[in-house]
Amino acid sequence: MKTPTASPLYYIGLMSGTSLDGIDAALIAIEGDSPPNLLATHAEPMPDELHRLLFKLCHAEQVSFAQLAAAEHAFCQCQAQAVQHLLAPLSVGVEQISAIGSHGQTIEHAPAGHDSGPGYTLQLDNPSLLAELTGCTVVADFRRRDLAAGGQAAPLAPAFHQALFGRADAHQLVLNLGGFANLTWLSSQSSDPVIGFDTGPANVLLDGWFALHQGGRFDQNGDWAASGKVDETLLVRLLSEPFFQQPPPRSTGRELFHLDWLQQHLSGQETATDVQATLAELTAVSVAQGIEQLRIDNGPLTLITAGGGAHNTYLMQRLAYHLPLATLTSPVAYGWPEDWIEAGAFAWLAHQRLHHLPGNLPSVTGAQGPRVLGGIYAP
């Protein structure tokens, strides 16, 4: 007699990264102990006014409660639209969604604190309103539980990478190229800890410099960067930032790497295109240095590349140059296109929360132990 198979559980993950280009919505199905299955995706563009407001909040020295409330409200409405547009063409209704996992929009991330103050991480979100607008249970505020346990609160995706890409017959190395770049090392030995950490900036500086000089949101395929030349002197100055020498666990954000930080390292003699090429080189070199910090075997290496930066042809060429023994491969082979892993991660984290399972990895974040992450907001 066959054991009855449990019906799949459906979750939606919502992710808006430091690039501020939109809200990614991913619908996943989880069935038993099988890896999560990606069913559908939708990219909800960030309205220009909301983009400007969020960007201003990320760089403001002083913020009013009225500004925060206005941004939260508009952001939450955009999230609800993402959910509506994701489900509209499908046969899955909101009543079938176990939960929405909402990451929120990171405004500032300072796990070490400032001026001897406590560490903090702020994700702008309104899960109560999102539950009201969508009629779904919402799980949110994932990061602060890890922070409370002494962790960095980031990166959180490596736990999902383990569920998705972990194999008993091969080591796996995952690189996410979002606003910031982070690595996940998955050993084939289950007794070995997962290692994951931020290597430094990726799209955050590339997009910011491009917007300043070209007026668009991002450098398509890295074509503008490819038209420039790497300024080796500038690259050395950028790599002198102490963050790049810190051992894991480590994480970073806009509070460190931003255009003012870049301007402080410029001599004024560089061309705009050469700076863009050098920023791409900074990402490629810092990723290569991060892999060196892992102290793994120097033999052939498979690197699964994800995130928006995986579409930057020039950046990928520079990565290949600095990692001659690595084979750069797409996560599409696992059923997960490059752009949807982070949104999928927060759908999976919502599942973890509802089932009272840990969502962090202490070996990655430095937390005192595994913790169940997020708060639950019923519709």
Q: Domain boundaries in the chain?
A: 9-155+339-377, 157-334
- Roughly how many angstroms between the first and final C-alpha of the chain, as a whole number? 39
Domain 9-155+339-377, what architecture?
A: 2-Layer Sandwich (3.30)
pLDDT in tens, 158-186: 999 999 998 888 888 999 999 999 999 99
pLDDT in tens, 108-135: 888 888 777 899 999 999 999 999 999 9
- What are the residues facing 302 on neighbouring strands? 327
- pLDDT recorded at residue 217: 83
Helix, coil or strand: residue 180: strand
305 is in an annotated binding site: no
Give the span between the Cα atoms of 126 and 75, in whole angstroms.
8
Computed over every residue of the chain, the mean pLDDT equals 93
Res. 304: pLDDT tops 70: yes
**Range list of β-strands (E), the chain:** 9-16, 22-30, 37-45, 97-110, 120-124, 138-140, 172-177, 180-186, 195-201, 301-306, 326-329, 375-377
Q: What is the largest CA-CA distance in the chain?
A: 76
Tokens of 151: 């962790």
341 is in an annotated binding site: no
SS3 sequence of 79-125: HHHHHHHHHCCCCCCHHHEEEEEEEEEEEEEECCCCCCCCCEEEEEC
- pLDDT recorded at residue 3: 40
188 is in an annotated binding site: no
- pLDDT recorded at residue 149: 97
With cut-offs at 50, 70 and 90, classify the pLDDT of residue 232.
very high
Res. 298: pLDDT tops 70: no
Yes or no: say if 84 and 333 are a contact pair by the CB < 8 Å rule: no
**Assigned fold of 157-334:** Nucleotidyltransferase; domain 5 (3.30.420)
Q: Is the peptide bond before 155 cis (omega within 30 degrees of 0)?
A: yes
22 is in an annotated binding site: yes
| pLDDT mean over 142-166 | 95
pLDDT in tens, 308-345: 999 999 999 999 999 998 999 999 988 899 999 999 99
20 is in an annotated binding site: yes
The reply to whether 9-155+339-377 and 157-334 are identical in fold is: yes
